[in-house]
Amino acid sequence: MKLMVSHHDIVFHTVSIVRRAFASFKYRTGTEAFFDYARDSYVKQRQLFEARRWGVTPPPRHLQERIVAGYFPRYIASGRQIAKEILSLAPGTKQSVLDFGCGSGRVAVPVSKFLPNSSICATDIDPEAIDWCRNHIAGVEFDVNSHNPPTRYPSGSFDLIYAVSVFTHLPEKMQREWLEELRRICCGYLVLSIHGQRHHKHIPPAVVPEFLKRGFYYLRSGTTDGLPDFYQSTFQTHDYIRSEWGKFFDIMEIKERAIGWGNHDAVVCKVR
């Protein structure tokens, strides 16, 4: 019998076990506050080191936590990594690029540095994040969009649109409306991230059969501070993407674990 355990699973489970053991140690020895302070200081220094290295400014902690659900030493490095992944997945020219759901510009900043001669736009529903971006990031044109389409962009504005961890949070009807809008404003390719199989463990076991049959599940798991109530967790199978997203685009490729050091799957689409 073939053992279906990947390298990612082994690393993930080992890290979880070590984390739990360490949390228990801190609790038993009453040293939580000390270790939390030490970790936060390390994260801050590490981010400042990377920020100086790449000539960028880290967003305030609460804006980082809003989009990556934590305060991590490699926040800036993750943006560079994802930018490289997106640009290598996307075929075609990249003269006009849109980051849809850009948050605090984690990916838009390195994309603009990798493509210094392109026009880079970035948009999000979060006015606080966009306000911070406008005041701290040069070389990207930022916008706030409404929860529902349309955007202000004319038809066929972009030869590349990407969305990192956005469709992973939208309900089905909203996904369809945004796919329609992205099709309108794109004249080339799109790279959209989705929760792949490694995230399916978060689906409650009782609804897994329904999920596998429908290929789509929208999990209400609480709200994120600063974001609207609809912002939850969405899971979809590759078959669902091919049949449903295939109504809007040619699905060129669905690449497993292609985004964020193996975190999300990438759907590469082409406007017909």
261: left (phi over 0), alpha (psi -120 to 50) or beta: left
Would you say 250 and 270 are in contact if contact means Cβ atoms under 8 Å apart? yes
Question: Which tokens in the block code for residue 190?
Answer: 């799109």
CB hemisphere CA count around 233 (13 angstroms): 14
- Identify which of residues 20 and 147 has a Cβ nearer to ligand SAM in the complex: 147
Q: Which of 58, 228, 220 is nearest to 147 (CA)?
A: 228
Smallest distance, ligand SAM to C-beta of residue 206, A: 26
- CA dist list (Å): 241 to 160, 198, 246: 19, 16, 7
Smallest distance, ligand SAM to C-beta of residue 225, A: 12
Q: Which is nearer to ligand SAM, 164 or 241 (CB)?
A: 164
When the beta carbons of 101 and 196 are compared against ligand SAM, the nearer one is 101
The Cα 193–Cα 257 span in angstroms is: 9
Shortest Cβ 113–ligand SAM spacing (Å): 15
The DSSP string of 82-93 is HHHHHHHH--S-
Nearer to ligand SAM, 125 or 212 (CB): 125
Binding site for ligand SAM (CB under 6 A): 67, 100-103, 106-107, 124-126, 129, 145, 147, 164-166, 169-170, 178, 227, 231
**CB 84 → ligand SAM: shortest distance, Å?**
14
Report the residue number, 154 or 205, with the smaller CB distance to ligand SAM.
Answer: 154
Neighbours of 156 (CB within 10 A): 13
Q: State which residue has the least CB distance to ligand SAM.
A: 103
Q: How far is the CB of 96 from ligand SAM (least distance, A)?
A: 18
